[in-house]
Structure 1
Amino acid sequence: MAVLVTGGAGYIGSHTVAALLERGESIVVLDNLQQGHKEALLGGKLYVGDLRDADVLDQVFTENQIDSVIHFAANSLVGESMKIPGKYYHNNVYGTLCLLEKMQEYGVGKIVFSSTAATYGEPENVPIDEHDRTLPTNAYGETKLAMEKMMKWFDTAHGIKWISLRYFNAAGAHESGKIGEAHNPETHLIPIVLEAALGKRPHISVFGDDYDTADGTCIRDYIHVSDLADAHILAVDKLRSGAESAVYNLGNGQGFSVNEVIEIARQVTGREIKEVVEPRRAGDPAKLVASSQRARTELGWNPGRNKLEDIIASAWSWHLNNPDGYSK
């Protein structure tokens, strides 16, 4: 039996594929390579195609004995989602519908979903608990919440069990040094800061310095990408054991402001990093930090790479050796 990883050639997907390979799983990857890279795959059987293409899904499910699915494939840029919400509904929500319908058709009853803590919107409590209100402040978070609700009803109607993992910012690189974070364009804070340290951009833009935080800049939770990969695999194991559907937050329990991330990057790299304050971006809450107590208790998740200095150092090593990302 095989695990299907949608979006498996992407950043978090490729690290999850690497972790699955390390434990001897048979892996099938479906990725349209919109943001993914063939070079990021350390193994597995790759199908290049789109979730919305029924013929591609038929091929994947007929040619392989799929036991469970880990679903990463989605557009994920907050700013873009506020400008082109239709793109996010079509790719994220409709794409997930196509996947769930094929899972139903072929009798695949387990899916782990890469969600987002952006489903909570402006939080009621910090750190955020799984029982807190979900009221997204951007279209990206809204589509992820819609995907979760869709899975709930497919479970009710067809018995497809699901685990949704809600988290914020993945960062860092694989310990082998073979894979890391490479987006074009890059929008994530830590790689952008490191690009500035490399001289690939003149400065780092700080979007707003008047938030209700200690230094006025947004606070976010950062998790090493390999710890996230481990959580997705633990969730697969949980479903394989016969567990009911559930939602889990993933976080390190400690938030860092944009200014703090930049300062730690300066210390790690030993380089000057210029910052320029710009207007706020639409849909950005001031402080987002998730509690992962439930995931630790019920999934047995124990992230071991949670020092921000170490996360940034692993990312810096990757960027130094791969300044142009996956150049091919």
Structure 2
Amino acid sequence: MNVLVVGGAGYIGSHCVRQLVEAGHRPVVLDSLVFGHRGAVSPEIPFYEGDLGDPAVVGPILEDEKIDLVMHFAAFAYVGESVTDPLKYYFNNVVATLRLLETMLEKKVMRFVFSSTCATFGIPERMPITEDVSQLPINPYGQTKLDIENALKAIAHAHGMSFAAFRYFNAAGAAEDANIGEAHDPETHLIPLAIDAATGRRPALKVFGNDYPTPDGTCLRDYVHVDDLSRAHIAVFDKLAEPGTGLFYNLGTGTPTSVLEVIQAVEKVSGMKVPHEYAPRRAGDPPALYADSTKAKTELNWEVKYPTIEPIVATAWAWHKTHAVGYDD
């Protein structure tokens, strides 16, 4: 299958490109390189630099590359920035995505796989989070993702486009060969921040809150390896043959890990101490967020290769050892 991976030079997208090749598909990458890295994509993969919301760019790619399915990983994803600059998020995550979908309809490319987020659930009403938990996002980032989920339902009903939306939790880790991995600027994810604190590239790690109603007082989160995420996205392809299909899946290990447990895993894997200090809670941080991925496991035969935090951290550590400043190395 010819697959256009929008945002394919980003963290999750670049890993998915690799998984597509391994699964026998032919990926084509479109990335603006605002946050993506050209070095994350093999020179052998067809690559286009451009905006997902520009039909003059997207339309010819869909035609010339004979695209069968589009995967979308190109959203802006900094929660704090979405609060301070919501228009940036609505223009990219909503307006540009709707233009992408419009161009797909015009070119009769009718299968779409969407990278959504657990942020659509806001502060969830129960744990673990199943697909039917009420979606009440508490920030513009989560709201923009939910807006596209709702638009996809309407487009599927009106035009017969088939789609799958994956709401995943904390993407983590790096490729097993350590050639691609996590390189954000700014970096906000806990595992790379802890690794950088251990190696002295950053100051002491801030732990926001140690008085939560959890076993060690720090927040619990569900860390899922980036390659496990990618495999789920590809496993859904066969489910999208029927016009108008709309599928939603939560992706996580189902095993919550605390901030202190992540720090301990980094220390064990690296052999270094992670200097850290406690800071006040951040507004809007729930005590725990973790997934019930039974639906994905049952319907897609999806199994995680990395069910616990230590092997996930080990892949991240292997990447950061040789890419201290990301792809600039």
Category of TM-score, reference length = shorter chain: over 0.9
Paired residues for 1:205-284 under 5 Å:
205-240=206-241, 244-284=245-285
Residue 240 of structure 1: how far off its partner (Å):
3.7
Q: Distance in 1 between matches of 2:282 and 2:236?
A: 33
Matched, 1:299 2:300: yes
Residue 60 of structure 1: how far off its partner (Å):
1.5
Q: Distance in 2 between matches of 1:234 and 1:277?
A: 41
2:16 match: 16
Q: Distance in 2 between matches of 1:304 and 1:120?
A: 26
Residue 242 of structure 1: how far off its partner (Å):
6.5
2:321 match: 320
Cα deviation code 1:132-187 (max 9, x no counterpart): 11111221111111110011111111111111111111111111221111111111
Cα deviation code 1:221-245 (max 9, x no counterpart): 0011111110010122321476821
Contact 1:30 1:48 in 2 (8 A): yes
SS at match of 2:3: strand
2:2 match: 2
1:180 match: 181
Q: Distance in 2 between matches of 1:237 and 1:29?
A: 21
Contact 1:79 1:281 in 2 (8 A): no
Instruction: Say which is worse superposed, 278-287 or 301-310, in terms of deviation.
Output: 278-287
Instruction: Say which is worse superposed, 158-167 or 234-243, in terms of deviation.
Output: 234-243
Q: Distance in 2 between matches of 1:228 and 1:314?
A: 15
Give 5+ residue unaligned stretches, structure 1: none
What is the alpha-carbon root mean square deviation over aligned residues? 1.4
Query: 1:35 corresponds to which letter in structure 2?
Result: F
Q: Distance in 2 between matches of 1:73 and 1:116?
A: 13
**TM-score under structure 1 length normalisation:** 0.96
Q: Distance in 1 between matches of 2:265 and 2:293?
A: 24
Query: 1:168 corresponds to which letter in structure 2?
Result: F
1:26 match: 26
Q: Distance in 2 between matches of 1:214 and 1:58?
A: 52
Residue 266 of structure 1: how far off its partner (Å):
1.1
Residue 103 of structure 1: how far off its partner (Å):
0.8
Q: Distance in 2 between matches of 1:323 and 1:224?
A: 20
Query: 1:263 corresponds to which letter in structure 2?
Result: Q
Paired residues for 1:46-195 under 5 Å:
46-195=47-196
Give 5+ residue unaligned stretches, structure 2: none
Query: 1:78 corresponds to which letter in structure 2?
Result: V
Residue 28 of structure 1: how far off its partner (Å):
1.1
Contact 1:78 1:283 in 2 (8 A): no
**Pairs aligned (count):** 328
Contact 1:220 1:289 in 2 (8 A): yes
Query: 1:77 corresponds to which letter in structure 2?
Result: Y
Residue 282 of structure 1: how far off its partner (Å):
3.3
Residue 95 of structure 1: how far off its partner (Å):
1.4
- Residue 242 and residue 304 in structure 1: after superposition, are their counterparts in 2 closer, same or farther (change >3 A)? farther
